[in-house]
Amino acid sequence: DAGVIQSPRHEVTEMGQEVTLRCKPISGHDYLFWYRQTMMRGLELLIYFNNNVPIDDSGMPEDRFSAKMPNASFSTLKIQPSEPRDSAVYFCASRPGTGYNEQFFGPGTRLTVL
């Protein structure tokens, strides 16, 4: 298996633009997580899905952020409009169903908003 795949690996955009980050979880995994990593706040959970359904989005910073999982093999995290304070590394992680505790992380998307 190729592991969790994220695209793009790097994104540079201007303030006010829409940004879409993509994630393909490991096949067969029931859970998908979106995290944000910054120097100031460390690693924060934004939202997670179980069987494509959002379960907890309490970590989503504000309405500019939205996440979807239209099917078991694809998820997006969208920021509209983007702001410089959104600059961070965004990680996607997945894990199998109940009984497994380890999360498998993707390589991350480094977002820079100018």
Partner 1 sequence: AQSVTQLDSQVPVFEEAPVELRCNYSSSVSVYLFWYVQYPNQGLQLLLKYLSGSTLVKGINGFEAEFNKSQTSFHLRKPSVHISDTAEYFCAVRTNNAGNMLTFGGGTRLMVKP
Strand order in the sheet with 74-79: 5-7, 19-24, 74-79, 65-71
Shorter beta-carbon distance to partner 1: residue 5 or 81: 5
Shorter beta-carbon distance to partner 1: residue 1 or 102: 102
**Number of alpha carbons in the 13 Å side-chain half-sphere of residue 99:** 2
Shorter beta-carbon distance to partner 1: residue 17 or 38: 38
In whole angstroms, the minimum distance from the beta carbon of 81 to partner 1 comes to 27
In whole angstroms, the minimum distance from the beta carbon of 105 to partner 1 comes to 4
Separation of alpha carbons 102 and 89, rounded Å = 21
In whole angstroms, the minimum distance from the beta carbon of 10 to partner 1 comes to 10
